[in-house]
Amino acid sequence: MNRIPRIYKNIDSELDFILIHNGPEPMLDLSFFYATGLYNGLFEGSYLFMYPDGRGEIVTSVLEEQSASRATLPVSVFSTGAERKEMLESRMKGAKRIGINASGLTVGALNSIKEFNPDAEYIDIGKAIDKARMIKDSEELEIMRKAAQIASEVGDLIRDFVKPGMKEYEVAAEIVYQMQRRGATGPAFETISSTGPNTAEPHYTSGTRTIQEGDFFLYDYGARYRKYNSDITRTIVIGRATEEQKRMYEVVLDAQLSAIDAIHAGVNAKDIHNIAAEIIDKSPYKGRFIHSLGHELGLATHDSVGFSPANDMVVEKNMVITVEPGVYLPGFGGVRIEDDIVVTAEGCEVITTPKKDFFEVL
């Protein structure tokens, strides 16, 4: 699928071309994969030329030649540094205005690109790429539903697996294993497997703490499938829940379901956040919802903007977002519930399905 016209649709200034440089891992530019539609291979040190008329060309090394053969765009392959230099200089020669994705480049990478045409003006068009990536096409939605399905199946399985006496890292390892057994390329991010007071840390990952009877257990995880991601959080209690644990869970679930009910194309992002925040602030947990309601999801887990009280962006059809309110009490524990949502014209589609109507694991 050629997504180059979708990027240029968001650009006002005239450009000779856009040049995407995909650096070495971890400095991969995910926009390279978005625009090329390639889902296999790293394509480290590869380049993508995108022209205003919708044409494109991949320039890559012989290392990626087989992976590049799946592309619908023309591919040119270099074997040596001298060949790479000749290819880039010949394509960049005479260009006056070249678009780049600055957020996907290191300073060193940008300086090396400029060596091939030091006289050109290099213009950051990253926001145009971000805007194109916000709205998913049918192929992207199909892939993301599969990523959500894989993670959802594992979400319910973990309830039957986790037991007192296990280490946090053991459960994290099982989550990743079970996702890959079901076809995931890997985890979307470092899996969060937190217990007891550790659940009060929103970005805790996993450690050596042993799961105990009566603990909150929070797991935040996602599957990566064909480079796209899902992102789910569930919170359960190992054994019987206390009244305080029940109250926290009910408040967070009410906030999440109310926010989801309000989502549709045309709604303001901050209004969605505020619906959840108001429910929590009217409860005994005022001020303990300490992050944005959610974020965009796609090739990156945190793909572009978050849905915060400062974000007045209008939500559009076929955006994929997370809805994940939480309450965190330091020293006691926390509750977060998260699902992935596809925005529709008149509402939304929840594509993650692990149970959340009850939370005690007895």
Q: Report residue 315 CA to chain centroid gap.
A: 17
Query: For the ranges 22-36, 73-87, 173-187, 305-319, which has the lowest average pLDDT?
Result: 305-319
Among 133, 153, 173, the domain-final residue is 133
Tell me: do 125 and 175 sit in the same domain. Answer: no
Where residue 307 falls among pLDDT bands split at 50, 70, 90? confident
Q: What is the CATH number of the domain that holds 284?
A: 3.90.230.10
Tell me: do 16 and 100 sit in the same domain. Answer: yes
Tell me: do 354 and 274 sit in the same domain. Answer: yes
Q: Which residues pair with 238 in a beta bridge?
A: 361
> For the segment 155-213, what is each residue's pLDDT rounded down to a tens digit?
989 988 899 999 999 999 999 999 999 999 999 999 999 999 999 999 999 999 999 99
Tell me: do 345 and 268 sit in the same domain. Answer: yes
Mean pLDDT of all residues in 51-67: 95
Tell me: do 295 and 339 sit in the same domain. Answer: yes
Among 133, 159, 176, the domain-final residue is 133
Alpha helices in the chain (DSSP H): 4-8, 30-36, 65-68, 81-92, 107-114, 126-134, 138-161, 168-181, 243-261, 269-281
> For the segment 121-154, what is each residue's pLDDT rounded down to a tens digit?
999 999 999 999 999 999 999 999 999 999 999 9
DSSP for 141-202, written as a single string: HHHHHHHHHHHHHHHHHHHHH--TT-BHHHHHHHHHHHHHHTT-SEESSPPEEEEGGGGG-T
Q: Indicate the SS3 state at residue 91.
A: helix
* Cα 186 to Cα 221: distance, rounded to the nearest angstrom: 11
Tell me: do 181 and 297 sit in the same domain. Answer: yes
Among 133, 152, 172, the domain-final residue is 133
Tell me: do 170 and 232 sit in the same domain. Answer: yes
- Give me the pLDDT at residue 350, please: 98
Which is nearest to 228 in space by CA: 23, 34, 7? Answer: 34
Q: Which residues pair with 98 in a beta bridge?
A: 17, 122
Mean pLDDT of all residues in 236-249: 95
> For the segment 1-24, what is each residue's pLDDT rounded down to a tens digit?
789 999 999 998 899 999 999 999
Q: What is the CATH number of the domain that holds 23?
A: 3.40.350.10
Tell me: do 129 and 171 sit in the same domain. Answer: no
Residue in this structure with the two tokens 């030329």, named with its chain if needed:
49
Tell me: do 37 and 11 sit in the same domain. Answer: yes
Tell me: do 147 and 270 sit in the same domain. Answer: yes
Domain extent for 97: 4-133
The count of domains in the chain is 2
CB of 218 within 8 A of CB of 249? no
In the chain, what is the straight-line distance between the N-terminal and C-terminal CA atoms, in Å? 48
Tell me: do 261 and 155 sit in the same domain. Answer: yes
Kindly report the average pLDDT of the chain as a whole number. Answer: 95
Mean pLDDT of all residues in 214-222: 97
CA–CA distances in Å: residue 51 to residues 5, 103, 117: 9, 20, 17
* Cα 265 to Cα 340: distance, rounded to the nearest angstrom: 16
Mean pLDDT of all residues in 19-38: 94
HEC per residue, 214-248: CCEEEEEECEEECCEECCEEEEEEECCCCHHHHHH
Mean pLDDT of all residues in 88-104: 97
Tell me: do 97 and 152 sit in the same domain. Answer: no
